[in-house]
Amino acid sequence: MSELSDNSAASSRAYETIVVAKVGAHIGAVISGVRIGEVDEWQTAGIRRALTEHKVVFFIGQGHVDNTLHREFAEQLGAVTEAHPTIGTDRDVMLPIDSERGRANSWHTDLTFIDRVPAVSILRAINLPAYGGTTVWANTGRAYKELHLSLRVMADSLWAVHTNLYDDAAERDEKRAGGINSQEKAFVGMGSQDSNDLFQLLQRHLTRLDNTVRWNWASGDIAMWDNHVTQHYAVDDYDDQPRLLHRITLAGSVPISADGRRSRPVKGDASSSSSAVA
């Protein structure tokens, strides 16, 4: 369930103040009738509802938005977090996603290596390549529901170790194994080969094309997604052209397993990036 779920009686009325058009059958919608910087409480409620239903939503024609309006819009929706818990950002809330510093061309969910995984990410296009540079999102909630019952039962019992260390810098032992998700490193108690094979199986279900939406960025675009029930992939298909976007994340709670146990940090402290602990 999204941190932005809106269960109020006003949610149906709120949908009358915005226009929501699906991009794909199972994930993604474009929200129009909204000018960021002038979003009222009814529109905010409608945006929350659309995000809960469609997992990722897109706003187009928002070229007037600067860092200040970006942050103000985020604060209308929830508590903003520090930009990144391990990258020196001077406690800013805005994280530049800059191709000059690296390219996250792998499936991942933002910041799963901390105990309080952000609930929502809001990404704004700044400088785009002439071609390529698309982003793909996958609906992890639907993928889970579509799993064979035996796989769902198994998934409910699994715990994974997440880290921000790259494989070549990580300790190599049976508790660490490479994975498609760049922050998931092993299923607890499994050897590296079994962990890898199982992870590949689950990822294959998750990233089926019918479970994804692909966005071709244009100037003035903003994407917002439920970070707890999606993965995304920034496609590295734009050669050596520059690509820059700005991201703000909203605070999320500590994940809880199917049997009610809370995720816990093995090493490190993310309390400075977000006060959310519930």
Quick one: pLDDT at residue 192? Answer: 85
Helix ranges restricted to H, the chain: 11-14, 41-54, 67-77, 140-146, 149-157, 192-206
Separation between Cα atoms, residue 18 and residue 201, nearest integer Å? 39
Model pLDDT, residue 7:
52
pLDDT at 175: 32
CA dihedral 69, 124, 276, 12 (to 10 degrees): 80
Q: What is the pLDDT of residue 112?
A: 83
The pLDDT tens digits for 187-237 are 888 888 898 899 999 999 999 999 999 999 999 999 999 999 999 999 999
Quick: pLDDT tens for 4-17: 555 555 555 667 88
Task: Match 């995984």 to its residue by tokens.
Answer: 117
Whole-number Å distance between alpha carbons of 36 and 102: 29
Q: What is the pLDDT of residue 242?
A: 95
Task: Give tens-digit pLDDT for 84-135.
Answer: 666 655 558 888 988 887 777 789 898 888 888 899 999 999 999 999 999 9
* Backbone region of residue 240 per phi and psi (left: phi > 0; alpha: psi in -120 to 50; beta: other values): alpha
Mean pLDDT of 258-275: 74
Q: Which residues contact 101 (CB under 8 A, 6 or more apart)?
A: none
Tell me what the pLDDT averaged over the chain comes to.
84
The Cα angle at residue 249 between residues 247 and 255, in degrees rounded to 5:
140
Strand partners, 226: 120
**Positions of E strands within 45-199:** 56-59, 95-98, 120-127, 135-139, 160-162, 184-187
Q: Count CB-CB contacts under 10 A for residue 21.
A: 11
Dihedral sign computed on CA atoms, order 166, 167, 172, 175: positive
Q: If you average pLDDT over residues 128-144, what whole number do you get?
A: 97
| pLDDT bucket at 278, cuts 50 / 70 / 90 | low
Q: Cα torsion for 55, 56, 57, 61, to the nearest 10°?
A: 180
The residue ranking higher by pLDDT, 105 or 141, is: 141
At 48, list the tokens. 């929350």
Q: Can you tell me the mean pLDDT for 175-182?
A: 40
Tell me the CB-side half-sphere exposure of residue 268, using CA atoms within 13 A. Answer: 14
In the prediction, which pLDDT does 155 show?
93
Q: Tell which wins on pLDDT, 177 or 36.
A: 36
Number of residues written out for the chain: 278
Instruction: Using the structure block, give the residue that is written with the tokens 């939503």.
Output: 57
pLDDT at 233: 95
pLDDT (average), residues 31-46: 96
